[in-house]
Amino acid sequence: MKIAVGSDHAGFELKKAVVAWLERNGHECHDMGPYNDESVDYPDYARKVAESVAGGAADQGVLLCGTGIGVSISANKVRGIRAALACNPEFATLARQHNNANVICFPARFSDPTTIEKSLQNWFAADFEGGRHERRVNKIEPCS
């Protein structure tokens, strides 16, 4: 799959592990930055990744910031994006199965490479279950 990846400075180190894992596992990785650990603003990178997924250039996205919260909030402002915060590998599975999430967000300051790799494994192994979950996902709409 084509996967867009981005972070802020807090996620920069673990982003390298994400990129390496994706490439090892046969994915086409679009690293949208940052490319060093200087302080940056997470909405800028979340938006790049979210727009890449929403526009179809990437199939799915991976984002990292300190808590994963800032990138989640930012990515979810882009129409068509369902960005899910994955605090552990089970979250990654359920985000695909129940929410049909298309962007996974990691809390870099509260995670480690092993947890993130297991989460990515689960994310790609899980499929959206549809059914009652589809009805609910279809009700997620921008309003006001």
Q: Which residues contact ligand RB5 by CB under 6 A?
A: 8, 10, 42, 65-67, 69-70
33 and 48 Cβ atoms separated by less than 8 Å: yes
Look up 27 and say whether it is catalytic: no
When computed from its CA atoms, the radius of gyration of the chain, rounded to whole angstroms, is 14
The whole-angstrom separation of Cα 73 and Cα 69 is 6
Find where tokens 């996620």 sit: 11
One-letter amino acid for residue 86 of the chain: A
DSSP state for residue 99 in the 8-state scheme = T
At closest approach, how far in Å is the CB of 133 from ligand RB5? 27
Q: For ligand RB5, which is the closer residue by CB, 27 or 70?
A: 70
Q: Active-site residue among 98, 105, 133, 143?
A: 98
* Beta-carbon contacts of residue 95 (< 8 Å; ≥ 6 apart): 84, 86, 101, 104, 123
85 and 108 Cβ atoms separated by less than 8 Å: no
At closest approach, how far in Å is the CB of 74 from ligand RB5? 9
Q: For ligand RB5, which is the closer residue by CB, 8 or 51?
A: 8
Q: For ligand RB5, which is the closer residue by CB, 67 or 119?
A: 67
Look up 133 and say whether it is catalytic: no
Q: Which residue number is nearest to ligand RB5 in terms of Cβ?
A: 70
Task: Classify residue 36 by burial, with Cβ atoms within 10 Å: 0-12, 13-18, 19+.
Answer: exposed
At closest approach, how far in Å is the CB of 61 from ligand RB5? 16
Q: For ligand RB5, which is the closer residue by CB, 42 or 124?
A: 42
Q: Active-site residue among 9, 65, 87, 105?
A: 65
Q: So which residues are the catalytic ones? A: 65, 98
